[in-house]
Amino acid sequence: SWKYVLKEKSPDMLHVLQFPYNGEPPRDRLTEITPNADHFVRNHGGIPEIEEDKYFFDVEGLVNNPKRISLKDLKNPDLFPQITKTVTLQCSGTRRIEQIHEYPGDGDELINAPWGEGAIGTAKWTGVSLKKVIKYCGGLKDGGMHVEFFGADTYFKKGHIYNYAVSVPYRKVKVNEVMLAYEMNGEPLPKIHGFPLRVVVFGYIGARSCKWLTRINVIPGPSMAPVQMKEYIYYTPQIGKQNATYSNGFSIQTMPVSSAIMTPLNHDQIIHDGKIKLTGWAYSGSGWPERVEVSGDGGSIWYEVPFTGMSTKYFHAWRVWEYEMPVDAEGWLEFCVRTWDDALNTQPTYVRSAWNWDLHVTSSCHRIKVYSIN
Ligand code: MTE
Ligand code: MO
């Protein structure tokens, strides 16, 4: 893995786990389109080496004409129209560190990496809508309801070796919100991000966006693979160590509205003239962030952050924001951010109301403390 980390990622990535390699960018790198070298990396196993010329994937299961498709075929505009979409990918572990501080929860650190605010990024993905590929394979047979993806990487858990595998319901494919991507920001996919082909599922948890795709399998129900059945489960607060059974939680799919302050950093000391500049992101998996507000006093007085940039126009992309917050107080202040999306969803006020046993989806208002010297 480190060969590719050194080659493909910024030298100052924050390495969240060594193996499997997981890393997130430094906070001050926030731009609407995340450069490939700064995009977070989330892996369950190693990084497979795949030769582009020999590469193909299989489409099988409940389709009328199962097919083997090469990358060359997939890139052939006579067979499949090429699309490019600006889409945010968010790991459900984003900001998990706050839940760990609240209460540690499931201690499986291979799954529960202690992510900060950077396990999210936005790219212009180029490839083919999966709906076209299913159509090319003669469409669905009766009973085909879910689409399962297999990655070439293997991962080891509790004495077994698995290929990475996940699924999405076909209805997500049908509305053209699932893409097979071979380019990221106009470049071939970096190895570490799934070269030569990955899935990108718009608005869903990053886990469904399978990298190093080898096989697509149409099935009647969700995938039985452990990543689908046993990871990325959301448990309500009354479920914990004694009673979490996988089946009494629910599978995380669409990401809720969330946001984060990227700069300043928690516990920064800031000398200023009455204004402190804040930057951050806001995202909603089911739509777009409609309003972002920040507070300098822990959430009593809120300031609306004016719209800037292009991202409000993009369904399934984040908004990055910045704001010069008026501050006259000296000493420790609590800054926080909250967002509403276009369906009027907003964020829980405190981490404790979003806490869950597997420590996913830290969607509460993001809070930091800074020391103000005016
Ligand atoms: N695909 C495979 N084959 N193996 C993986 O470990 N991790 C998933 C997903 N796809 C994973 C995978 C998870 S949990 C996330 S959040 C995204 O990839 C991260 O994509 P990135 O590393 O390109 O940012
Ligand atoms: Mo993830």
Nearest ligand for residue 93 CA: 2
Nearest ligand for residue 209 CA: 1
* CA 328 to centroid of ligand 1, rounded, Å: 44
What interface predicted TM-score (ipTM) does this complex get? 1.00
**pLDDT the model gives residue 110:** 59
* CA 32 to centroid of ligand 1, rounded, Å: 21
**pLDDT the model gives residue 312:** 54
Q: Helices (DSSP H) in 2-148: which residue ranges? A: 2-8, 71-74, 96-102, 130-136
> What are the pocket residues of ligand 1 if the criterion is a CB atom closer than 6 Å to any ligand atom?
39-44, 89, 91, 151, 153, 164, 193, 206-207, 209-212
**How far is residue 302's CA from residue 142's CA, in Å, rounded to a whole number?**
53
Nearest ligand for residue 213 CA: 1
**pLDDT the model gives residue 112:** 76
- Domains of the chain plus CATH, in order, are 2-251 (3.90.420.10), 258-373 (2.60.40.650)
* CA 92 to centroid of ligand 2, rounded, Å: 5
**pLDDT the model gives residue 258:** 97
Closest CA to ligand 1's atom 5? 43
**How far is residue 162's CA from residue 154's CA, in Å, rounded to a whole number?**
5
Collapse the DSSP code of 23 into the 3-class scheme (helix H, G, I; strand E, B; otherwise coil) and give the result: strand
**pLDDT the model gives residue 260:** 98
Closest CA to ligand 1's atom 23? 193
Collapse the DSSP code of 72 into the 3-class scheme (helix H, G, I; strand E, B; otherwise coil) and give the result: helix
Strand partners, 151: 213
* CA 351 to centroid of ligand 1, rounded, Å: 25
Based on its alpha-carbon atoms, the radius of gyration of the chain, rounded to whole angstroms, reads 21
Q: Which H/E stretch holds residue 169?
A: strand 160-169
* CA 322 to centroid of ligand 2, rounded, Å: 26
Quick one: tokens of 153?
Answer: 């990487």
* CA 309 to centroid of ligand 2, rounded, Å: 27
Nearest ligand for residue 226 CA: 1
**pLDDT the model gives residue 313:** 60
Closest CA to ligand 1's atom 2? 211
Per-position pLDDT tens, the chain of length 374: 789 999 999 999 999 998 899 999 999 999 999 999 999 999 999 999 999 999 999 999 999 999 999 999 999 999 999 999 999 999 999 999 999 999 888 766 556 789 999 999 999 999 999 999 999 999 999 999 999 999 999 988 778 898 999 999 999 999 999 999 999 999 999 999 999 999 999 999 999 999 999 999 999 999 999 999 999 999 998 899 889 999 999 999 999 999 999 999 999 999 999 999 999 999 999 988 999 999 999 999 999 998 776 655 668 999 999 999 999 999 999 999 999 999 999 999 999 988 999 999 999 999 999 999 99
The CA distances from residue 169 to 70, 119, 287, 356, in Å, are 24, 24, 18, 24
**How far is residue 274's CA from residue 74's CA, in Å, rounded to a whole number?**
56
Closest CA to ligand 1's atom 17? 206
Measured from the Cα of 151, ligand 1's closest atom is 3
* CA 87 to centroid of ligand 1, rounded, Å: 15
Nearest ligand for residue 192 CA: 1
Measured from the Cα of 213, ligand 1's closest atom is 3
**Residues 86 and 115: beta-carbon distance below 8 Å:** no
How much helix, strand and coil, in percent to the nearest 5, is found in the chain?
15, 40, 45
**pLDDT the model gives residue 158:** 79
* CA 192 to centroid of ligand 2, rounded, Å: 14
Closest CA to ligand 1's atom 24? 41
Listed in sequence order, the residues at least 6 apart from 371 whose beta carbon sits closer than 8 Å to its beta carbon are 267, 268, 269, 270, 331, 332, 333
* CA 173 to centroid of ligand 2, rounded, Å: 20
Closest CA to ligand 1's atom 11? 43
Closest CA to ligand 1's atom 22? 41
**pLDDT the model gives residue 104:** 85
